[in-house]
Amino acid sequence: DVMTMDNFPYDLTERQVYEIGQQVAAALAYLEQKKLFHGDIAARNVLLHHNFTAKLCGFGLAYEAHTYGASSVTEMVPVKWQAPERLLKNPPSIKADIWSFGILLYEMITLGDPPYPEVRPSDILPYLQRRNIMKQPSSCQQAMYSIMKSCWQWNATDRPSPSDLIQSLQTAMKTSNDQRVLQVPELVVPELYADVTGVAMDSLVSDYTVL
Does the active-site annotation cover 6?
no
**CB–CB of 125/87 below 8 Å?**
yes
In the 8-state DSSP scheme, what is residue 83?
A: -
Q: How many helices (H) and strands (E) does the chain have?
A: 8, 4
Determine the Cα–Cα distance for residues 10 and 147; give it in Å rounded to an integer: 25
Given 1, 6, 11, 40, the catalytic residue = 40
Phi, psi of 28, rounded to the nearest 5 degrees: -65, -40
Strands (E), the chain: 2-5, 8-11, 46-48, 54-56
Determine the Cα–Cα distance for residues 57 and 127; give it in Å rounded to an integer: 29
Catalytic residue numbers read 40
